[in-house]
Amino acid sequence: MTRFYKPKLVQVRIIPVIVYPDEGVEQFLSRQNPDSIRKHLERLYEQKGLENLGRFNIDILWENEGDLMTDVWMYSQLENECGALVDEKTFRNYRRDTRSGITAEHGLVMLGLEASHRGKLTLSEYLRSRPILPAHTTNGKRFFSRGRR
């Protein structure tokens, strides 16, 4: 069973992206290079179909059958009384993947807690803090073993 590292906020293009790396992505992204996640996402966000990103995104990085997977959750219309409008795209390496499902169960738990956490906060307040995930969904470690946060 894999578990999330502590999330990291990065800026890709002009979009704030909350990134949840899952155990197993170390084989693709460097834990010694704090820019490895941002560089991966910059390359990914050049893809056709990712021109219309949300006001912020939550991206889940995970490993599947030897491939780097990225679930891109795009949040827009944040003031909607029913909650934000959310779109999702999954990528296997850098290619769109429509066969693998949209996320694993731990991802749904995390997304629900993120939505609850956002509650009545402004977007800037929300982006500065993360909710506490259940212990079984996280390993409690930073993805980067050294360097900046």
Instruction: Please state, in angstroms and as integers, the Cα–Cα distance from residue 103 to each residue in 34, 36, 120, following that order.
Output: 25, 22, 26
Give the rounded distance of the alpha carbon of 98 from its chain centre: 18
State both tokens at 71: 């679930």
pLDDT for res 130 = 96
Task: Please give the share of the chain, as a percent, with pLDDT higher than 90.
Answer: 77
Instruction: Please state, in angstroms and as integers, the Cα–Cα distance from residue 72 to each residue in 54, 87, 123, 145, following that order.
Output: 10, 8, 18, 24
Helix, strand, coil percentages (3-state) for the chain, rounded to 5, are 25, 30, 50
pLDDT for res 100 = 82
pLDDT for res 1 = 60
Q: Which residues are CB-contacts of 61 (< 8 A; sequence separation ≥ 6)?
A: 19, 20, 21, 22, 25, 29, 37, 40, 68, 69, 70
Give the rounded distance of the alpha carbon of 94 from its chain centre: 15
Q: What is the mean pLDDT of residues 75-103?
A: 89
Residue 95 in contact with residue 48, Cβ under 8 Å?
no
Q: Where are the domains of the chain?
A: 8-137
149, pLDDT greater than 80:
no
Confidence of residue 34 (pLDDT cuts 50, 70, 90): confident
Q: What is the mean pLDDT of residues 99-113?
A: 87
pLDDT for res 144 = 86
More confident residue, 103 or 3: 3
